[in-house]
Structure 1
Amino acid sequence: MRRRGSSRAAAPSLGLRGAAPGATPSFSLPRRLVSARFTKLQALSCAPPAQLARPFVPEVEAAADSLHSEFRAVDNLVAHNTTRVLRAFQNARVGSHVSQQPCRRGGREALDKVFAEIVGAESAIVRSQFFSGTHAITCALFAFLRPGDEVTLAVAGAPYDTLEEVIGIRNPFGNGSLRDFGVEYRQVHLAEDGSLDWDALSGSLRPQTKCALIQRSCGYSWRRSLSVAEIERAIRMIKMQNPDCLVMVDNCYGNLWKQWSLLRRKMTVGDWFFSSQGADLIAGSLIKNPGGTIAPCGGYVAGRKRWVEAAAARLSAPGLGLDCGSTPGGVMRAFFQGLFLAPQMVGEAVKGSLLIAEVMSSRGFKVQPAPRVPRHDTVQAVQLGDRERLLAFCEAVQRSGPVGSFIKPVAGSTAGYASEVIFAHGTFIDGSTSELSCDGPLRDPFAVFCQGGTHWTQWALVLGEVLNSI
């Protein structure tokens, strides 16, 4: 009679090894069965693409396969940038006691220190109280300028739409614009081919020109975004004409890609100093590159300590310095973590831009930047030519997002913009352009401006929907 609970009698058929009474039996499949199952699993893992579901349409898949070397180059730069960011976190001794402090001074100081080291600045202010990149840039400009001064858009023609009212190009009086305070404005137009007009810039400054504003990204203009080398050359040209002229760089969409020499240069290991040829301030938004797709709000100003403090006074009030303003603990943690993740997220956005350019140019659309050329920010523009295609492109992007995929984007008037604008952003952070998104003004040449994405495969999936829609 078999003892109750014994598994010895079943062992021959089930491949079980005998166990002492009360002990847990050990299970062992027959060697031939193990070998057969392993072979089958190995075959599945190494199965050719024909046996697996293809996630991308053939046109997009072929484009992605052709970009292998470009993607590898992006990964190498991401590794370099991640090393720099990691070193800044370690040097600032960031710990959980700092990154999760809700309102305490220590968390703000550590975040400012990390950010300043990453961008190569003497000082920085990173705050949730900056409503947007436009707000941060405005604080920087008001830090520099006083009634009777002149601001010159030095190298990139007209500024981004939202800065037009800040400067006073549109609605100049009664809303607190720079022009409302008596600050004059001029701009250096682009050359006929859309590049920088170096001849015009070489003689553009006047003795009363207090500030030169350089917009790194293309904005809603059909031009290349500026490279670090071009910005450096422009700054040298400005300082040669007027060494006292302050330089402000709108660095939106350019963070954590190629930027290290905008503010200062490295002379020897550990020896950093502000260069007379560097920008005095840079500013931008945290829901773009430096927020790493998880910062829910905020912006930054970085550069010379004197001017960072002046920008902080514009954000709060004179005399309050950098020590005021509460930040919820969850937001502070998101700032630190997003900044650490930013190099990787920026790299994936750049890969996405390379893929967009490759696919859309193969369909005959004009793209800016061109396929496979070096990228200087995360924006990829596609000239669609008419209103219907622009709307269809944005609708396809919205349908392909994780949030609000059931929503149909509608063009309309938006605060700060001169034209109707359509936005497609199925993003977790409202308005985030470090997440996959696109937008464009409904005006000639009806270009859509694409940016963001936490992995290039997101754009690969979206492009399949786009190609079926336009």
Structure 2
Amino acid sequence: MLDITAQFLKNKYRINDNVLDLYERALEDIKGQFEYYDKIREYNQLKVLNALQEERISDSHFTNSSGYGYGDIGRDALDRVYARIFNCESALVRPHFVNGTHAIGAALFGNLRPGDTMLSVCGTPYDTLHNIIGINKNTNIGSLREYGVKYKQIDLIDGKIDFESIRTELEIDKTIKLVHIQRSTGYGWRKSLLISEVEDIISFVKTINPEVISFVDNCYGEFIDKVEPTDVGADLIAGSLIKNIGGGIAPTGGYVAGKSQYVNQASYRLTIPGIGGECGSTFGIMRLLYQGLFFAPHVSIEAVKGAIFCSRIMELAGFEVLPKFDDKRSDIIQSVKFNDKIKMINFCKGIQAGSPVDSFVQCEPWDMPGYEDQVIMAAGAFIQGASIELSADAPIREPYIAYLQGGLTFDHAKTGILIALSKILN
């Protein structure tokens, strides 16, 4: 006899008995993983709580500045809270960053000059960075390439960092100013970098040339470990507030954090040289940024639990997944390889159908700004594009891999995944 929850899934969402059987098997297999990540969640919750207490945050910090935004105590205190959490000198947390790519772009443009070289050590960066760097050679868009900043990359070898090639480039090319480390996978088929691996890269680079800036794209990675890249030597990191660290409450924004000199340079590209972070009114959303940060350790682990469940049930259903359900994780993303365009699209449509918002619409592949291939995105979210909420996206290219992320609650994440799997198997 089915329990009341299983009966509801069957009656309301047409989840068949085969999928429900996989569901029960997956839940049993992943119990040990949940215990591990709950300990990380608890530690990070304490870390955030302590940072808020140390900065003596009060109701007066939930400011509503206008115009120039001079003297916005809530904005400036939030910068200090982030700096405490990331154990670094400085942070720039602003609603004016439109996404994580914008924050990364400000960090790169702020710290690279004509004649400098940016070296990516994790292969090709995420698709939306290609226009920033100038990889795709689009002209008249103001890319780093157009401003005389050169770009090199070192591809991974079987998913691992090629340290010898890094050594060769750093010893030969003295124009390398910044090493770019992408913690998450982007649209690749590899595991995200563990913090220990990030530490190894930074230590290796600094041994060869201590003046090189170590920059980490921290998107999707906050609060998935007990330490962050800045704890292990990263000079500069950047991320989005509508991913992990916004806790599903921050309505927009991004952050840059690290050494003061590099954060300041990034601030001059967010606004203008000489003003930087001194300006920028906050439109009355400071309470949401603080509250989202407070929820972020819990919500981030809920998303990880959804990813672990997705990994196990999709593997049981016969699909190739990365990472495996029992692999150690460094971000909230779960990759599923379909080797079939229609199955991949139907999976994304199933996630859309399982959303609390716009569940009745059909997502379709389209030419999305900043991407080289058509992309299908399932994102029935309370905040547009918030990938800490349950979402899935996939470039329309072989071998047809979908990337699932988010889930404000595990209960919702697993329901959306069950609907998506049923849409494929039915």
What CA deviation, in whole Å up to 9, does each residue of 1:327-375 have, x standing for no partner? 111x211100000000000010010111000000111211111121111
**Other structure's SS at 2:348 match:** helix
For residues 368-393 of structure 1, give each alpha carbon's deviation from its aligned partner in whole angstroms, at most 9, with x where no partner exists: 11121111100000001111011100
Match status 1:353 vs 2:303: no
Alignment size in residue pairs: 407
CA-CA distance at 1:58 after TM superposition: 2.8
Please report how far the alpha carbon of residue 51 of structure 1 lies from its aligned counterpart in structure 2 after TM superposition.
5.2
Equivalent residue of 1:263, what SS? helix
- Which among 286, 291, 306 is matched to residue 246 of structure 2? 291
- Alpha-carbon separation, structure 1, partners of 2:271 and 2:34: 43
Q: 1:188 aligns with which of 133, 140, 154?
A: 154
SS at match of 2:44: helix
| TM-score normalised by structure 1 residue count | 0.84
Matched residue, 1:129: 96
1:407 to 1:52, Cα distance in 2 relative to 1, 3 A: closer
Deviations 1:53-77 (A, max 9, x none): 4255232132113222211111111
1:373 to 319, 327, 337: 327
State the distance in 2 between where 1:91 and 1:311 align.
26
Does the 8 Å CA contact 1:419/1:443 hold for their aligned counterparts?
yes
* 1:301 maps to which of 256, 278, 283: 256
The 5 Å alignment of 1:302-317 reads 302-317=257-272
3-state SS of 2:423 partner: coil
Displaced runs of 4+ in structure 1, greater than 3 A? 49-53, 100-104
**Alignment partners' CA distance in 1, 2:386 and 2:188:** 20
1:13 match:
none
* Distance in 1 of aligned mates of 2:215 and 2:36: 30
> SS of the residue aligned with 1:252?
coil
1:464 maps to which of 410, 415, 418: 418
Asked if residue 52 in structure 1 is aligned to residue 11 in structure 2, the reply is no
In the alignment, the residues of structure 2 paired with residue 309 and residue 140 of structure 1 have an alpha-carbon distance, to the nearest angstrom, of 9
* Corresponding position: 1:165 with 2:131: yes
Q: Aligned partners of 2:2, 2:312: CA distance in 1, in Å? A: 24
Measure the CA separation in 2 of the matches of 1:94 and 1:101.
15
Change beyond 3 A, Cα 1:207–1:259: farther
Partner amino acid for 2:156? L
CA distance in 1, matches of 2:304, 2:4: 28
For the pair 1:82 / 2:23, whether they are aligned, the reply is no
Q: Which residue of 2 aligns with 1:281?
A: 236
Q: Does structure 1 retain, via aligned residues, the 8 Å contact 2:367–2:373?
A: yes
Structure 1 residue 186 displacement after superposition? 0.6
Letter in 2 for 1:323: E
Aligned to 2:110: 143
Indicate the percent of aligned positions where both proteins have the same amino acid.
41
Q: Find the aligned partners of 2:338 and 2:83 in 1 and give their Cα distance.
A: 39
Alignment partner, residue 167 of structure 2: 202
1:118 aligns with 2:85: yes
Contact 2:63–2:72 (8 Å) recurs in 1: no
Residues in 2 aligned to 1:280 and 1:464: alpha-carbon distance in whole angstroms? 41
Cα distance change, pair 261–404 in 1 and its aligned pair in 2 (3 A): closer
Match of 1:96 among 59, 69, 72: 59
Aligned to 2:13: none
Report the alpha carbon displacement of residue 172 of structure 1 after superposing the two structures with TM: 4.2
1:64-101 CA-partner distances (Å, limit 9, x unpaired)? 13222211111111000000000000001111110244
Unaligned runs of 5+ in 1: 1-48, 266-277
TM-score (norm 2): 0.93
| CA distance, structure 2, for counterparts of residue 306 and residue 467 of structure 1 | 48
Which one of the candidate residues 200, 209, 231 is aligned to 1:233? Answer: 200
C-alpha distance in 2 between matches for 1:124 and 1:294:
20
Matches within 5 A, 1:415-434: 415-434=369-388
Decide whether aligned partners of structure 1 residues 100 and 181 sit closer, same or farther in structure 2, where only a CA change above 3 A counts: same
Distance 2:125 2:403 in 1: 16
Please name the residue that 2:283 is paired with: 328
Letter in 2 for 1:109: D
Tell me how far apart the structure 2 counterparts of residues 216 and 452 of structure 1 sit (CA, whole Å). 17
Deviations, residues 290-344 of structure 1 (Å, cap 9, x unaligned): 1001111100000011111110011101111322011111x21110000000000
Alpha-carbon distance in structure 1 between the residues aligned to 2:3 and 2:153: 59
SS of equivalent to 1:247? strand
Question: Alignment partner for residue 152 of structure 1, among 97, 116, 119?
Answer: 119
- In structure 1, the partner of 2:391 is 437
Please say if 1:65 is aligned against 2:28. Answer: yes
CA contact under 8 A between 1:102 and 1:332: conserved in structure 2? no
Distance in 1 of aligned mates of 2:267 and 2:210:
24
Distance 1:370 1:177 in 2: 37
- 1:99-136 alpha-carbon deviations (Å, 9 max, x no partner): 24445510011110111111111000000111111110
* Deviations 1:139-184, CA, capped at 9 Å, x for gaps: 1011211101111002x10000000110000134321100000111
- Counterpart residue number, 2:15: none
Look up the equivalent residue of 2:142 and give its one-letter code: G
CA-to-partner distance for each residue in 1:236-270, whole Å, 9 max, x for gaps?
111122111111110000012226252246xxxxx
Quote how far apart the aligned CAs of 1:287 are: 0.4
Return the letter of the residue paired with 1:194.
G
Map of 1:37 onto structure 2: none
The SS at the match of 2:81 is helix
In the alignment, which residue of structure 2 is the partner of 1:260?
A: 227
Aligned partners of 1:60 and 1:463 also within 8 Å: no
For the residues of structure 1 that align with 2:98 and 2:407, how far apart are their CA atoms? 22
